[in-house]
Chain A
Amino acid sequence: MSDATIQTARDAGLVACTQCGRVHGAQETMCVRCGAALSSRDETSLQRVWAWWFAGLICYIPANIYPMLKTSTFGSELDNTIIGGVIELIDYKSYGVAFIVFFASVVIPISKFLAIAYLAYSVQYPTTLPGKVRQHLYETVEFIGRWSMIDVFVVAILSALVQFNFIVNIHPGIAAVSFALSVAFTMLSAQSFDSRLIWDADEDRRT
């Protein structure tokens, strides 16, 4: 399967609806079947990617500084940040849980930031990785993004369940909100990315 032999839809003056897949002529601006807006390439895509990316990054900072969980036991309150929680779990020898939390709350978000930034960067500037690999990368990022919410779910469930008045009480901290926002923003950032740009860049480079 050689890329060189393929004539792209764009070359043929066609544009496909990204929602329902129906192919239209290039002059069409709206899908006649599902009514979605048509565009051969989303020109504001990269802008939106970077905007969401920055928003996510900004939210990620307080998510790590501020406490995620406020645990009050017998009147004494204990604040835990994400990293603090992980360290505490390691102290309690719960290595498995510590790894999951660390992976979901630190590794995944940071990898996502790096991956999205790399993809957006590679569209505009020559890159070494082939398009297919980058497409896989993009799909992985989109798929795995939602799993970062695992920490937020844990906090939400804990604070809903652990409400025993004086004995134990768990409240979400500011970090829980900003972490959730950060994850949401990075997901939006990934979604804003028009993956067709990967191939454009690939083609440009080849020709």
Chain B
Amino acid sequence: MTDMPQPAEMERRPRKPSPWRNLSVVWLVPVLALVVSLGIAWRTYADRGQLIEIEFQNAAGVKAGETTLHYRDVIIGTVENVGFTEDLEKVLVSARVDNNIVPFLNETAQFWVVRPEVTAQGVSGLSTVLSGVYIEGTWEKTGGPAPDRFQGLDQRPLVDVTDEGTRVTLTTQDGTVTSAGTPVFYRGVQVGRTEAPRLDESGSVVMVEAFVEAPHDRLLTTATRFWDNSGFSVSLGADGLTLDVGSFAALLSGGISFNTFFDGGRPVEAGHIYELYVDQDSAKTNAFSRVSGNTVTLATVFQGGVSGLTSPAEVRYEGLKIGEVRSVSAFVTGEGNDMEVSQQVLLEIDPELMGLPANSGLEDVLDLLSPAVDEGLRARLESANLLGSTLIVELAKVEGAGPASLDRTADPYPVIPSVPSNVQDINATLEGVLKRVNGLRIEELIQQATSTLASIETVATGSEIQTIPKAVVDLIEDARALVNSEAAKALPGEALDALADLRITIDRVNSDGVIAKLSSTLASADAAMANLSTASDELPALVADLREVAAEARDLPARELVESATEFLNGADALIDSEETRAIPPALTAALEQLRGLLAELQTGGAIENTNAALASARSATESLERATADLPSLTARLESLVARSEDLISAYGARSDFNSETLSMLREISAAARTVTSLARSLERSPNSLLFGK
């Protein structure tokens, strides 16, 4: 039994070790996992970014969790929620912005929704066609506390707050010349753009905000002039029909140019207000003044009508432009029969243009003018040019002006004494001319001729009668030459001038008083004419004498003699009193009217319509492209139809003109653009993914 095999002896003493000492290393794994998990959770929470809210009028295409927030085209956050403001007035987009961006956000931040856009200036936002819209933001990099809620913009702002440059305001009457994003050119180079035009508070003026990028904004001075250079400009001049076309983009979307035609402008502050002129010429011609911005205002009072004087007519001093008429207003003085209408004209004068230092004030100008007024300086009206009906104000020394002085204390502006308008001076001039005509010693001349003829008569009755006819004829010829030349010859010319002046005066004079004066002048002219005719009364005597001569020279060619004399007289008469001579000024005016009409027709005619059609086409093309890029070929087709239409336009004008060649070059440009679009469309058809990858 004892040998019985026993199971192997086994030490079965279960140890009771400390649970810690026996701890498995594997426990490190869950601890590590826990730490890592907590770490990830904490980081996710910490990196979550800050929630900002942006209010939009319209948040088409913005989706929670998908739409991203961009800064300089880099994603900086994601939209988390799209809701409404408390009053449901606006869409409230909540977006989470990356933490590293948050410190830079401040109240200057601007946000807008980027959508695909096709304009004449180019295509933008194409990447959003497939990926959906995104929100772009920009702000000044100064940093600072960020508000919780931002106001979103409807569209990309004209000026990125980070862009450097100057923002100015243009005023115009017609808002159609610009649109949002209209380029601003300087010597044909784009240096800025405009915002959409808006009306001022009163609704009478269209304001256009324009932004000129640095460093070009230093070209802006107070002397700078802006004008609209969109579309065609067709002008008819001595060198034929000329067509001026800016860039293709400017043709479609308009453009604004600026330049500085004068020196002496001062740098402008942001927000400076400029007038937008219709074209370059009017910008140039109106370009005076307010150059320095430092002007003083004086007043003057004219008696009687100042019809034709409007703001901003020129103010001239010693023939130089020194300012502009600011306003013309009428007031009544006296009572009853003494009642008289006076016109108060406010003159805006630039001291710099008078040769005074740039910073001169009103006192300096008055100091300069005061002694001059004492010596006879007066304000008077003057016609701006020979044919026009516009008036200007001239400060000139008037001989024989009554004593007057500069009224420094007048309210509200110092008053410069005036003399009756120069329009009356013109009448006086006419009168003087007639007086001179009157004063010509025609009678003496004729008497001399008569006595000469008398001498001839005595000679003719003499013995050398055979030689007389020829001598007489020669003598008559000489007499004719005598009358024809020198002072006599000046008579028709001066009368012609007088008539021209008379014509202008009649054209211009509208008010009763002047007409009365004019009629009195005409009366005196009549008297002068009467004098002239009495003087001419002696002519028949001359003829009689001639007839006598003819009678006495019986066998000689008397008819020839009489005829030549009559011819001469008729000729002189016809010259002075010819209908054609009288008709010259109206004919000239009519010609100008026709010219003007032609220009107006050209401006308002088919050219603009075609441009508008082109714009409409481009706009609809834009819409098509917004919907789907597949419509590109139709844009091409439209451009081709534009070309076709333009060709029709060309055929309407003659061949081989400047207009033609300019237009043809423009059409080539359009065709090239159309070809580009076509090739773009083709390449898109071939490899649509190039649109996606931007290759």
List residues of A whose CB falls within 8 A of some B CB.
11-13, 25-27, 43-44, 47-48, 51-52, 54-55, 57-59, 61-62, 74-78, 165-167, 174, 178, 181, 185, 192
Known contacts A48-B24, A57-B30; 15 additional CB pairs below 8 A are A43-B22, A44-B22, A52-B29, A54-B30, A55-B32, A58-B34, A62-B37, A74-B132, A77-B66, A166-B692, A166-B693, A167-B689, A174-B40, A178-B37, A185-B33
Does B10 lie within 8 Å of A13, measured CB to CB? yes
Smallest beta-carbon distance B172→chain A, Å:
42
**B30–A74 CB distance below 8 A:** no
Is B412 an interface residue when CB atoms closer than 8 A count as contact? no
Known contacts: A51-B29, A75-B127. The answer to whether A61 contacts B37 by CB under 8 A is yes
Q: Which chain A residues lie closer than 8 Å to B127 at the CB level?
A: 75
What's the least CB distance linking B42 to chain A, in Å? Answer: 12
B69 to chain A, nearest CB (A): 14
Verify if B237 is at the interface (C-beta below 8 Å from A).
no
Query: Which residues on A sit within 8 Å (CB–CB) of B692?
Result: 74, 166-167
A-facing mask of B13-31, CB < 8 A → 1, else 0? 0000000001110110110
Q: How large is the interface on B (under 10, 10 to 19, 20 to 34, 35 or more residues)?
A: 20 to 34
B127: min CB distance to chain A, Å: 7
Chain B positions within 8 Å of A, measured between CB atoms, are 7-10, 22-24, 26-27, 29-30, 32-34, 37, 40-41, 66, 127, 130-132, 689, 692-693
> In the complex, which residues of chain A have a beta carbon less than 8 angstroms from the beta carbon of B32?
55
Point out the residues of chain B lying under 8 angstroms from A174, CB to CB: 40
> Which residue of A is nearest B34, CB measured?
A58
B8 touches A25 (CB 8 A): yes
Docked Cα-Cα span, A62 to B7, in Å, equals 54
> In the complex, are the beta carbons of B24 and A58 less than 8 A apart?
no
| Bound CA–CA A166/B33 (angstroms) | 35
**Do the beta carbons of A58 and B130 come within 8 Å of each other?**
no
19 residue pairs from A and B, CB less than 8 Å apart: A12-B7, A25-B8, A47-B22, A47-B23, A47-B24, A51-B26, A54-B30, A58-B37, A59-B33, A59-B37, A62-B37, A62-B40, A74-B131, A74-B132, A76-B66, A76-B132, A77-B66, A166-B692, A185-B33
**Closest chain B residue to A57, Cβ basis:** B30
Instruction: For the complex formed, measure the closest distance between the CB of A77 and the CB atoms of chain B, giving whole angstroms.
Output: 8
Q: A75 and B130: CB pair below 8 A?
A: yes
Residues of A within 8 A of B7 (CB): 11-13
The 9 closest A-B pairs by CB, nearest first: A75-B131, A54-B30, A55-B30, A13-B8, A51-B26, A58-B33, A55-B29, A47-B24, A74-B130
Distance (whole angstroms) from the CB of A91 to the closest CB of chain B: 16
Question: Smallest CB–CB gap between B132 and chain A, Å?
Answer: 6
CB distance from A67 to the nearest CB of B (A): 11
Q: Distance in Å from the Cβ of B389 to the closest Cβ of chain A?
A: 67
Given contacts A13-B8, A26-B8, contact A181 B24 (CB under 8 A): no
Given the complex, which residues of B lie within 8 Å of A165, measured CB to CB? 693
Residues of A within 8 A of B26 (CB): 47-48, 51-52, 192
Closest residue of chain A to B6, judged by CB? Answer: A13
A63 to B2, CA, bound (A): 65
B23: chain A residues at CB < 8 Å are 47
Name the one of B24, B41, B132 contacting A44, with C-beta atoms under 8 angstroms: B24
Which of A11, A78, A166 gathers the greatest number of chain B CB atoms within 10 Å? A166
A165 CA / B695 CA spacing, docked (Å): 13
A192's nearest neighbour on chain B, judged by CB, is B26
Residues of chain A within 8 A of B27, CB atoms compared: 47, 51
The residue in chain B whose Cβ has the minimal distance to the Cβ of A59 is B33
**Interface pair B693/A62, CB less than 8 Å apart:** no
**Set of chain B residues within 8 Å of A62, measured between Cβ atoms:** 37, 40-41
B693 pairs with A55, CB closer than 8 A = no
Chain A hits for B66, CB < 8 A: 76-78
Q: State A76–B130 Cα separation when bound (angstroms).
A: 9
Point out the residues of chain B lying under 8 angstroms from A54, CB to CB: 30, 33
| Complex CA distance for A47 and B27, rounded to whole angstroms | 8
A181 and B33 within 8 A (CB): yes
Indicate if the CB atoms of B10 and A26 lie closer than 8 Å: yes
What residues of chain A lie closer than 8 Å to B8, measured between beta carbons? 13, 25-27
Residue of A at shortest CB range from B693?
A166
Residues in chain B near residue A13, CB distance under 8 A: 7-10
Residues of the A chain whose Cβ atoms lie less than 8 Å from the Cβ of B29 = 51-52, 55, 185
Do B10 and A55 touch (CB < 8 A)?
A: no
Chain B residues in 8 Å Cβ range of A43: 22
C-alpha spacing A27/B10, complex, angstroms: 8
**Separation in Å of the B90 CB from the closest CB of chain A?**
25
CB distance from B82 to the nearest CB of A (A): 15
